[in-house]
Amino acid sequence: MAGHQHQKQVQVLTLEDTRVERALVLYNDEVNTFDWVIECLVDICQHSAEQAEQCALIVHYKGKYAVMHGDYDFLEPRCTALLDRGLSAEIH
């Protein structure tokens, strides 16, 4: 293959490529009502009423559920808002 130059391809990772997908996990508690949890998920996580109700039921019966996924910067303000409303949540 004389005369052919081989070019190396270099993959450049952008900041967006290196972001890690995380989960916003909501935990069951004995304090908050289903209606309050549903309202919070609709307001904060932009869930539909049906989606929020399904998440609330899963949290109730399983003890926890990942109600939203994304990178940390996207999830952190939503987690803080849920905590501010008295719910138990954390980012994994």
Helix axes 72-84 and 34-45, enclosed angle (nearest 10): 140
In this structure, what are the phi and psi dihedrals at residue 58, rounded to the nearest 5 degrees? Answer: -65, -45
> Mean pLDDT across the chain, nearest whole number?
88
Taking CA atoms, 21 is separated from 24, 58, 86, in Å, by 10, 21, 25
Query: 1 versus 87: which is more confidently predicted?
Result: 87
The string of pLDDT tens digits covering residues 25-61 is 999 999 999 999 999 999 999 999 999 999 999 999 9
Specify if 11 maps to a domain. no
Within-domain flag for 81: yes
Residue 2 lies in a domain: no
Q: Domain containing 41: what range?
A: 20-91
Q: Is residue 82 part of a domain?
A: yes
- State how many domains the chain has: 1
For residue 29, the domain's CATH number is 3.30.1390.10
3 is a domain residue: no
